[in-house]
Amino acid sequence: MSAPILAATGLRKAYGSTKALDGADFSIRPGEIVAVMGPSGSGKSTLLHCLAGIVMSDAGRVTYRNRAMSTLSDAGRSRLRRSDFGFVFQFGQLVPELTCLQNVALPLWLNGTPRKDAMRRALAWLERLETDDVSRRRPGEISGGQGQRVALARALVTEPRVLFADEPTGALDSLTGELVLGLLTEAARETGAAVVLVTHEPRVAAHSDREIVVRDGRTRNMECAA
């Protein structure tokens, strides 16, 4: 088996007197889909934020490709999130003033990709996720399911090594959610991206290779999903 691409040991994070993480561990290998499960307030989103370098833990260690996240500056972690990491959130978080095509191309522009090449690559991902018909529309003019597919295209356009998906179907009906999850997992399998899938729904976790349950800020590995 390959070595973990992203790992954490003994993570602790508190907000005031509230312990969000209390010794959490995590690991994921290239191409693996790991579901992080737990009830609301269990610490699973805080775990994701620490793994992605969005917030720094109070104690413990996060390593990406054998390098400690704590050795990177704020700017270095930001570059990492633009180049190696992709993100899909519950409500998409698309930029309302931009068209869907421009939203997908945005991470490439921020990385310095020439406009023509960025637009070409963005359109290719919209086509791949069967949503190129909304490329010229703005987020407020499309459905929630279409918006999540656009958000997924935006997350994948940089060909990330790790994709963080935080409740990616939480705002969708079950049928649309299954469609988005199917597209997400298929794209990840094809590109070899590792996927950290945060959810509280067993039907969503069923798309993963393995489950980690977070409760009271601590983690517990479950048996591999069927």
Averaged over successive runs of 10 residues, the pLDDT of the chain (226 residues) comes to: 92 95 96 93 93 96 96 94 91 90 96 96 93 95 92 93 91 86 89 93 91 94 58
Q: Output the DSSP codes for 18-53.
A: EEEEEEEEEEE-TT-EEEEE--TTSSHHHHHHHHTT
Query: What gap in Å lies between CA 176 and CA 43, rounded to an integer?
Result: 27
Q: What is the pLDDT of residue 1?
A: 65
Rounded to two decimals, the pTM is 0.91
* Percentage of residues in the chain having pLDDT higher than 90: 74
**41, 94, 204 from 20: Cα distances, Å:** 8, 28, 23
Q: What is the pLDDT of residue 223?
A: 56
Number of neighbours of residue 24 by Cβ within 10 angstroms: 27
Q: What is the pLDDT of residue 183?
A: 87
Name the token pair of 105.
């191309």
Query: What gap in Å lies between CA 43 and CA 26, rounded to an integer?
Result: 13
Q: What is the pLDDT of residue 171?
A: 81
Report CA torsion sign: 44, 211, 60, 194: negative
Q: What is the pLDDT of residue 169?
A: 86
Report CA torsion sign: 140, 142, 146, 150: negative
Q: Is the CATH number of domain 1-83+200-226 3.40.50.300? A: yes
Amino acid 205 reads A
pLDDT in tens, 135-154: 999 999 999 889 999 999 99
